[in-house]
Structure 1
Amino acid sequence: MPQSPAGTLTSQQKTSSRRPAGTLYRGREGMWSWVLHRITGVAIFFFLLVHILDTALVRVSPEAYNAVIAQYQTPLMGLGEVALVGAIVFHAFNGLRIILIDFWNAKYQKVMFYVVLGLWVVTMLAFVPRHLINVFSH
């Protein structure tokens, strides 16, 4: 690296050496919040689409509807319900965080992201054991 006459790096060289290699964005809390919000939103959308379609089966064929509902009462689907509730809870808490950032102050957005994660963990710790007991006891 070229050096200035005094043997120290210039300010332009210092800044360029701190840049990450490649083009991958190395974001922090804001990026992860955005990514998780999009993923959970898409997952909830597809759940609602499937839910509407399977409920519509009752008008087409009650026997087909009963067969689909029987598949939903398996332990595997019980675990899927845990994932669904996790996605809904995170999406809801993070949506409230986004509203607060829009109308209040973005200064505390990183702290609020960790508050969202904490609330999500507490909510899931309250829900998961109770739900899994119901799923595996039948």
Structure 2
Amino acid sequence: MVLVEEVKEDIFAGERESDFETDSEISDDESVVSEDDFDADAETIFDRIAALKDIVPPTTRTSIVATTDSIKSWAAWALASSGQVAWWATTSALLVGLPLALAIEDEARISQQEREMQMQSAGQQQLIGGAAAPGSGAQQVMPAGF
């Protein structure tokens, strides 16, 4: 069986046990707001979240704040680092990749021109070779009427 005992606040008058205590506790001499005075439509989400502060113990609040600060600092570091990596990659691509791509394209263009010149000279050799030596194995076709 549980024994519930009321602790008088007169003993702790003017003192707080920790820095995390709130002033939202209602003492016996203050009037309690009745349910008739409460307007749920006027209460905002922020008011509801702020009211939860009294439910969470101070040690838990401290650990939540420490964890949140740690996550926030890691996220800021990750964002700054990813920005630096993106800057390095972009700069490297512009300084190394772009000239390399242009050199490869120029080499391909020169290679294509060389192939065209070889095909052109081979075609000229066939034209010159066929007209210069008529008796050298080239057969002349005669029309059927002669």
Do both share a fold (TM > 0.5)? Answer: no
| Greater share of helix | 1
Q: Which has the larger radius of gyration?
A: 2
Larger RCO: 1 or 2 (CA < 8 Å, sep 6+)? 1
Provide TM-score, normalisation by structure 1. 0.33
Provide TM-score, normalisation by structure 2. 0.31
